[in-house]
Amino acid sequence: MSATKTDMLRVVRWHGSQHPTLALMTHQLEQDGLRPFKWSNNANYRYGVRSHGHAKSLYCVEGSMEVFLPDTRQRVVLKKGDRIDIAAGARHSITVGPQGVMCVEGTPAARR
């Protein structure tokens, strides 16, 4: 896997002999101590600019999406198998690609 990192985000592109699957991506998020959940949306859907009080990680399972960080003017297109880690407080928006998208997202697991 190749990675791109800044203070607000890290992008990891899928490489390797195994095809990216929902099970592999979910397992990786769990190994990272995150609580995974799956979501999807239709083509060209836009999530407005937002931020969260926690870091989050997203894998693109199917389709594509563009993540935009307005404060740094960074645009990242994620395709099948790609992962993005977004820092807590980083303002971002998402635009779903022309074929729709299915993602598995990981957020910090609840403390016991």
All structural domains of the chain, each given as residue ranges with its CATH number in brackets, are 2-108 (2.60.120.10)
Q: Read off the amino acid at residue 3.
A: A
The model carries a pTM of: 0.88
pLDDT more than 90, % of the chain: 82
pLDDT in tens, 10-60: 999 988 778 889 999 999 999 999 999 999 999 999 999 999 999 999 999
Distances 39 to 8, 57, 66, 96, 103 between C-alpha atoms, Å: 23, 13, 15, 12, 5
* Number of helices and strands in the chain (H, E): 1, 8
